[in-house]
Each structure stands twice: as C-alpha cells, then as structure tokens.
C-alpha cells in the first residue's frame, strides 16, 4: 500500500469519525440530559474495543496490525471525546466566565471546565505508553499522542486568543465554554504550536522514507497525515476557512435556543 493511499484513508477516517461523533452528540443534545448519558453509555463498547485492539496489535507489525492500532487509538479517543461533548466527563466548573476576571483566575476557571476530561486523556496516554513503548507495534500510542498534544495545543490557543472561533458545534451541555474563549488577532503561543506540528510532520516523513517494512511505511504515513490535519486545524483558527461546512450538511438542526452565540468560521472548539 502506498503512503498516499494510507494518507487518504486517514483523511477519510478523520472526517467520518468527527462527523459521526458530532451527529450522535447533536441527536442526544436535542433529546435532553438522559439521552446524552445513554448515548455515552451505549458507546462504551467503543472504549473496550479500542483498549483490546491496542493490546492485540502491539505484536502485529503487518499492515493490518498497523491499521488496527491506528483505529484502536481513534476508538479510545472518540469515546472520551463523546463523553466530553455530552457533558458526562468534563470538569467541576460548569459556569460561564464572569466579566473582568483576572488572568490567573481565568486560567483556573478554564481548567475547571475540562479537568476530568483532560485527566482521563492523560491517564489513557500514560497507560498506552507503558504498554506499547517497547512493543513491536507502538502506533496506537503514537496516534493517541499526536491527538493528545495537538488538542492541548489547540485549547491553549483558544484560551490565549485567536481571530476565528466557531461555536456552532458546541452542545448545550458545554455552552459555557464559549465564554472562556478569547478572540484576538493572534497570540504568542500560535507560532510555537504550528512550528512544533510542522517539525513533528517532518520527523514522521523522515521515518516514513527510512522505513524498512510495509507496515512501518503505512504507520508513518498515517501519522504524517494526522499531524498535517492537526496543523491545518490550527491554521483554521487564524485564517477565514469555513471548515464547519465539512459536517454541517450531515447534522440535524440544533436544539432551538432563545439566544444563540455564533462566531462564524474558524476552529470548531471541540
């Protein structure tokens, strides 16, 4: 399998899995809190499959094993993200940010909105690292690590401030998050973020071209594509690119609200 095919598969899986999660969350959001909880519980086998797939694929170095590792990491990530978007695993702070809050308090309050979720992601990353670091096939860990650090970077940029933030896909359970975002021309951390992602992309490409097996070629092609997508999501925060159109057409209408905040274009805030 050529690296280009693997990259296209990664692109499709990213688009399809994101749309599926957004669709499930939107339907649950329309039905209320009980539906959000039931949706998260119904998807729990995804977490189990991801954990089993990551363990099983650890010793499988062929192309199939690499894809199982990649999909297993996405399954783990997908369930944790769904638990966050449905409001089941978030943080102790569910209140909007009061106006004129001091910067240090703003950071503490922002951390409080997603603390449990971030700790669950961190614990999963550590568990994968301890299990797979020396395994013949560590690509489940690599995949989850790319997603984890790219997400932390994106959230820090939303906190420090970027020009384009789209809250269209924020569910009702997380509507308070919009008050913790900051819209500004640019922040000091953005160049650091995109430089790190660009460097990581270069490292994956170097490993891709020095790979000795078809499995490793596939794995590093998948990681390269995923990291490029993460970098693109960062650039969407500063460039007027309407990325929400990729999924808006497939989602049901949101639950009617008396007053809805929209900042068109930019990062989807997930």
Find the farthest-apart pair of alpha carbons in the chain and give their distance in angstroms, rounded.
59
Summarised one tens digit per residue, pLDDT across range 62-79 is 999 999 999 999 999 999
Backbone angles phi, psi at 10, to 5 degrees: -60, -40
Q: Does the residue 257 lie in any domain?
A: no
Instruction: Give the angle subtended at the CA of 137 by the CAs of 134 and 140, to the nearest 5°.
Output: 100
In a domain, 138, yes or no: yes
17 in a structural domain: yes
Structural domain includes residue 267:
no
**Residue 137 located in a structural domain:** yes
- Residue (of 194, 202, 263, 201) closest to 233 by Cα position: 194
What pLDDT sits at residue 240? 87
In a domain, 269, yes or no: no
* pLDDT on residue 242: 84
> What's the number of domains the chain is made of?
1
User: C-alpha dihedral over 188, 191, 193, 199, to 10 degrees?
Assistant: -150
Q: Which domain holds residue 99?
A: 3-248
Residue 177 DSSP one-character state: G
Helix segments in the chain, DSSP class H: 3-31, 33-42, 44-57, 63-85, 103-132, 139-160, 189-210, 214-236, 245-248
Cα 270-239-199 angle, rounded to 5 deg: 75
Query: Residue 268's pLDDT is what?
Result: 46
Residue 67 covered by a domain: yes
pLDDT digits (tens, 9 = 90+) for 145-157: 999 999 999 999 9
**pLDDT at position 270:** 42
pLDDT on residue 248:
85
Residue 86 near residue 173, CB atoms below 8 Å: yes
Q: In this predicted structure, what is the pLDDT of residue 266? A: 47
Low-confidence ranges of the chain (pLDDT < 50): 258-266, 268-270
pLDDT at 260: 41
Q: What is the pLDDT of residue 141?
A: 98
Domain assignment present for 133: yes
């Amino acid at each position: 399998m050529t690296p280009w095919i693997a990259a296209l598969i990664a692109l499709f899986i990213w688009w399809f899995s994101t749309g599926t999660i957004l669709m499930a969350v939107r339907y649950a959001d329309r039905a209320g809190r009980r539906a959000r909880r039931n949706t998260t519980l119904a998807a729990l086998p995804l977490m189990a499959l991801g954990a089993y797939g990551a363990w099983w694929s650890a010793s499988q170095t062929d192309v199939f094993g690499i894809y199982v590792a990649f999909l297993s990491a996405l399954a783990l990530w997908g369930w944790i993200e769904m638990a966050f978007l449905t409001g089941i695993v978030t943080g102790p702070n569910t209140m909007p940010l009061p106006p004129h809050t001091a910067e240090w308090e703003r950071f503490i309050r922002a951390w409080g909105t997603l603390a449990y979720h971030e700790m669950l992601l961190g614990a999963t990353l550590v568990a994968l690292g301890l299990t797979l670091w020396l395994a013949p096939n560590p690509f489940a860990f690599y995949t989850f690590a790319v997603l984890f650090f790219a997400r932390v970077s994106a959230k820090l940029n939303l906190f420090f401030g970027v020009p384009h933030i789209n809250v269209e896909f924020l569910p009702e359970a997380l509507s308070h998050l919009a008050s913790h975002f900051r819209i500004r021309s640019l922040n000091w951390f953005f160049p650091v973020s995109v430089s790190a992602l660009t460097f990581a992309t270069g490292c994956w490409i170097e490993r891709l071209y020095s790979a000795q097996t078809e499995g490793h070629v596939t794995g590093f092609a998948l990681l390269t594509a995923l990291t490029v997508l993460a970098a693109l999501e960062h650039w969407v925060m500063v460039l007027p690119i309407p990325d929400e159109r990729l999924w808006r057409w497939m989602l049901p209408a949101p639950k009617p609200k008396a007053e809805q905040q929209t900042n068109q274009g930019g990062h989807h805030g997930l």
